Amino acid sequence: MIMKQTLLALLLAGALQGAIAAPATPVKEVDRIVAVVNKNVITWLDLQTRVDEAIKQLQAQKVTPPARAVLEKQMLEQMITEEVQLQYAASGGLRIDDAAVDQAVANLAKQNKMDVAGLKAQLAKEGLAFDKLRAEVRKELTIARLRDSEVAAKVNVNETEVDQVLKSAQSGNRAEYHLASILVNVPERADAKQIDALSKKAEKALAELEAGQSFAKVSASYSDAPNALKGGDMGWRSAVSLPVEFVQMLEQLKTGQHTNVIRTQQGFFIFQLQDKRDSGAPMMVEQYHVRHILIRTNEAVSASDAKARIEQVRDRIQRGAKFADMAKLYSEDGSNAKGGDLGWVNLGDLVPDFESAMTQLPIGQLSQAVRTPFGWHLILVEGKRNQDVSGDRERLAVKQQIRSRKIEQAYADWVRQLRDSAFVEERLDEK
pLDDT digits (tens, 9 = 90+) for 251-269: 999 999 999 999 998 899 9
Q: Per the structure, how many domains does the chain have?
A: 3
In terms of domains, do 195 and 270 share one? yes
CB atoms within 10 A of CB 257: 12
Do 201 and 145 fall into the same domain?
no
Alpha carbon 158 to chain centroid distance?
A: 20
Please list the ranges in the chain whose pLDDT falls under 70: 1-29, 169-173, 279-283, 389-394, 431
Q: Same structural domain for residues 251 and 325?
A: no
Q: At what angle do helices 98-111 and 116-125 cross, to 10 degrees?
A: 80
The pLDDT of residue 279:
66
- Would 204 be classed as within a structural domain? yes
Stretch (H or E) spanning 275: strand 267-278
Nearest CA to 402 out of 101, 158, 48 is that of 158
409: nearest Cα among 225, 245, 247, 258 = 225
Q: Encode pLDDT of 277-334 as tens digits.
A: 886 656 677 889 999 999 998 878 888 999 999 999 999 999 999 999 999 999 999 9
Question: Helix, strand or coil for residue 401?
Answer: helix
The three-point CA angle 144-146-152 to 5° equals: 85
- 89 with 12, same domain? yes
| Range(s) of the domain holding residue 255 | 167-281
CB atoms closer than 10 angstroms to residue 249: 16
Final residue of a structural domain among 95, 125, 150:
150
Contact residues for 141 (Cβ-Cβ < 8 A; gap 6+): 1, 3, 96, 100, 101, 104
Q: Note if the pTM is more than 0.85.
A: no
Diameter of the chain measured on Cα atoms: 95
Measured distance CA(316)–CA(70) in Å, rounded:
80
